[in-house]
Amino acid sequence: MVGLMKKIPAAMMIGAIAATAVLDLTVFPMELPAWFLTMIKILAGTYIGHRFTYQTVLELKKYLKVSVFAIVWFLATTFVLGGVISVTSGESLTTALFASTPGGISDVIFIANDLGGEMTAITIFQIARLFSVYMIYPPMVRYFAARAKGRKTDGVGAPVAVGVPAGQKDQSVGGTLLIAALLGLVFEQLAIPAGAMLGAMLGSALYNETRGARLPKNTKYLVQIGAGITVGNKLNVEILGGFSNLLLPIGGLVVGLFVFTLVLAWLINRMSDIDFVTALMAVTPGGIQEVAVIAEDAGCDIATVMLIHTVRLMAVVMVFPTIIFYVVSMLTQ
């Protein structure tokens, strides 16, 4: 709350990360139940989707080419940074490549385990990547947003009026949450990457287009707190101990991703009409849920951010493993 009052970007999320990590490591270690994680993903998707309309979706078609370019860039980045990690840490090339893969941490770890990657090392690198994103990117994005033409610092993250006109009486919090939750659960059962969140986002958007979505005023802060709890809960003593043994390659990964992300955002800004701040959040190598929270707090074009992130997550699951497998096989023959 103190951070929020001082207008720290994504203050609730950062505070929840710190508080959960401290409690987990000292007083009250716990394993978050699956239903809690699903609930937070659905709530995040609902909040994001309730701003979307059919026109929003139509406008996204022009960004598909940009999304493909971003995927190729991330794949190249993965091989460059993976090679550096393998050389500096002594880890196998498979482990190093998955350690630098910018996907969902659970997806990356499970896929890597099937292909012979070392799960503990990969987890350490992936958590370092995520924590660097959540601690560095919010103030950096706010800085760039404040410098952007026509923006003011106090206006970043301000609420935006969306949905059907206020005079209509059919807006319903219950209806919004029900439809979003149903689609979120369906998508999760279908094993779609980030399915709970994407399904809820779609359900909320459909409800907004037809009836007018409505959510409680402080939903954004509940999403931030939930996201922070899920991130902070990933820390444990084994992970912290691993950081000290891999400081050099972890530092290389964090700095490398930072530089590659800034360059990619600049290129996307130059080759399209996406503003730099939105482009930066669209290619930020963090979890889709947490990045969406930061992007919304910074006043970015959420629809564009979500599109590019969704394409990235799907590519990491469907494309990256096959390419990594064949490249490693050729190099180790």
CB 16 within 8 A of CB 134: no
**Per-residue confidence band for 38, with pLDDT thresholds at 50, 70 and 90:** confident
Does the pLDDT of residue 166 top 50, yes or no?
Answer: no
| HEC profile of 168-214 | CCCCEHHHHHHHHHHHHHHHHHCCCCCHHHHHHHHHHHHHHHHCCEC
Query: In this predicted structure, what is the pLDDT of residue 57?
Result: 64
Higher per-residue pLDDT: 262 or 223: 262
* Residue 6: pLDDT over 60: no
What is the identity of the amino acid at 206?
L
| 26-35, 81-90, 261-270: segment of lowest average pLDDT | 26-35
Res 1 pLDDT > 60: no
**Environment class of residue 256 by beta-carbon count within 10 Å: exposed (0-12), middle (13-18) or buried (19+)?**
middle
Instruction: Find, among 246, 37, 267, 209, the residue nearest to 123 by Cα.
Output: 246
- Does residue 199 or residue 192 have the better pLDDT? 199
* Percentage with pLDDT > 90 across the chain: 19
User: What token pair was written down for 100?
Assistant: 């630098």
Q: Average pLDDT for residues 243-270, to the nearest whole number?
A: 90
Q: How far apart are CA 272 and CA 67, in angstroms?
A: 11
Query: Which of 103-117, 121-135, 255-269, 302-316 is predicted with the least confidence, judged by mean pLDDT?
Result: 103-117
Domain boundaries, the chain: 2-152+170-331
The CATH code belonging to domain 2-152+170-331 is 1.20.1530
In this predicted structure, what is the pLDDT of residue 242? 67
Over residues 93-121, mean pLDDT? 78
Q: Is the pLDDT of residue 77 over 80?
A: yes
Single pTM value for the model: 0.67
What integer pLDDT is reported at residue 308 of this predicted model? Answer: 86
What are 210-249's pLDDT values in tens digits?
A: 888 888 878 878 887 887 787 677 666 666 666 677 888 9
Give pLDDT tens digits for 116-145. 887 778 878 887 888 888 788 888 888 888
Q: Does residue 302 have a pLDDT over 70?
A: yes
Which phi and psi (to 5°) does residue 213 adopt?
-70, 150
Mean pLDDT of the chain: 79
- When pLDDT is cut at 50, 70 and 90, the band that residue 90 belongs to is confident
- Residue 264: pLDDT band with limits 50, 70, 90: very high
Q: How far apart are CA 105 and CA 107, in angstroms?
A: 6
Does 155 have pLDDT greater than 60? no
Lowest mean pLDDT among 182-186, 259-263, 310-314: 310-314
Residue 142: predicted pLDDT: 81
